Amino acid sequence: MQEVNASKPEDVLHAQIETLPPKQQQCVMQCFSAAKKRSSKGNVYSKDWILECMLMKMKSTKLYEHLRKHIISLQVRVP
């Protein structure tokens, strides 16, 4: 999957990300941003992403309901 995404032009990848719901877009963009960095130090997260993470931490027992309700969960393709 990394090789496939690395071979795509950046504008095509952004166009595909824009088809996702807003919360999933944010999740994917934060994951890509973190993956580009060699170290986790100095990584700047958006305020919305930090708020979502805090809410998920507080709702640990109802986390799956929160993810489904706000369409945050990502579909993982299995080959």
Answer yes or no: are the C-beta atoms of 70 and 62 closer than 8 Å. Answer: no
What is the C-alpha to C-alpha distance for residues 18 and 25, in angstroms, rounded to an integer? Answer: 7
Q: Domain residues of the chain, as ranges? A: 2-69
Give the model's confidence band at 70: pLDDT under 50 very low, under 70 low, under 90 confident, else very high: confident
Checking if the pLDDT of 73 tops 80, the result is no
Checking if the pLDDT of 79 tops 60, the result is no
DSSP state of 44: P
Q: What is the pLDDT of residues 16-67, one digit of tens each?
A: 889 988 888 888 888 888 777 777 677 778 888 888 878 877 877 777 777 7
The per-residue pLDDT for 78 is 42
- Name, in order, each residue with C-beta under 8 angstroms of 20's C-beta and a sequence gap of 6 or more: 28
The per-residue pLDDT for 74 is 54
